[in-house]
Amino acid sequence: MLKNRMKKVLLVLLTVFLSLIIIATASVLIVRDNGRQKLTETEKQPELPPVVSETPSEDESPEENTQEYSVRYNGKKYKYNDKMINVLLMGIDSAEPVEESELFGDGGQVDVLWLGCINTENKSVKIITIPRDTLCSIEVYDINGEPIGTETLPIALSHAFGDGGVKSAEMTVNAVSELLYGLQIHAWYSVNTLAIPVVNDAIGGVEVVADETNIDFMPSWANIGDKVLLKGNYAHRFIVPRFDTTDASRRVRQKQYMKSFIPTAKKAIKDNPLIVIDIYNKITEYSCTSLTLDEILWLSGEMLGMDIDTDAITLEGTEGTMGKYNTITLDETKLFEAMLDIFYLEVE
């Protein structure tokens, strides 16, 4: 009799447990679907010149066939791929939790700009690295947050002129969009350097091979050729500091880290999908974002099945100076060709 009662109790508990799992799974799926719907809307297209380095034939003008293509280059026609989702990740030079200030002008500079270009049609992702010294048009505000115009300055300053929070991030997003011919940025995530060890350790650390370019930023016991599992402050030390006045050598290390981080993060999420929520909650005080949790869950789920090109495309240009600032003036032809390669489809 007692055994029968115990069996019934265990059966009820098992049923309740399975029901909770089913409800939780269904809830996650519903949330993810909501995220998909909000992120896959294309509201605007870049405004690339319709004809570049080419004269149209006598029987064809740039105004004709505008529904068929929007850009013609080197004898080929292209149209914008409206199946793209573009997410901007900003790494902010700040060792303090995010706190929006009522006064503008001390928002912290943006040290890292990675644009994730997600092609939802062929399930691929390319990453564009925008050097922090890149010259671009930046919105300028007075200390009270009133707009006073635009200036051509290094893009790192776009965040600094704001409030240190959402407004600063939006100013950087606008600067990136303007730089890329008005490209739509569907979402953004702004993260302070304090979040690096948190995210890094949540996925079990990131392994990087020590070489001549990074040995000075490795643990003291590391030798060239060693595979080093970066954890805690060692991850921060590898990504953030720089010894020279330019940003080039640091970008090399950041690329090395990213190449290892992406497959490591994908494996960690496959093993435990809920780790995304855990990371989101842990870095809340060090970050701000336009992404909602349902959008993050959908994106992370989609990225697991995508081919992510870890060889980031760095926008190239000519280095120079502007007063106390280092500058990079982008090569317009290379920028234009990168835009065609990533965001456009060739029309037969």
Residue 84 burial (10 A CB sphere; 0-12, 13-18, 19+): buried
95 pLDDT band, cuts 50/70/90, is confident
Residue 34 lies in a domain: no
Beta strand pairing status for 313-314 and 124-129?
parallel
Nearest to 251 by CA among 342, 133, 94: 133
% pLDDT > 90, the chain: 61
268: left (phi over 0), alpha (psi -120 to 50) or beta: alpha
**Main-chain dihedrals φ then ψ at residue 133, nearest 5 degrees:** -90, 0
Average pLDDT, stretch 22-28?
43
Condensed to tens digits (0 to 9), the pLDDT of residues 160-198 reads 888 888 999 999 999 999 999 999 999 999 999 889 999
330 pLDDT band, cuts 50/70/90, is very high
Who's near 339: CB < 8 A, 6+ residues apart? 46, 48, 180, 181, 183
State the CATH number of the domain containing residue 305: 3.40.630.190
pLDDT: which is higher, 51 or 91: 91
Condensed to tens digits (0 to 9), the pLDDT of residues 128-138 reads 999 999 999 99
d(CA 193, CA 204): 18
Domain carrying residue 184? 40-52+67-347
Residue 6 lies in a domain: no
Reading the block at residue 182, the tokens are 């008005």
Q: Are 202 and 304 in contact (CB under 8 A)?
A: no
pLDDT: which is higher, 5 or 206: 206
Residue 337 lies in a domain: yes
Number of domains making up the chain: 1
**What is the pTM for the complete model shown?**
0.84
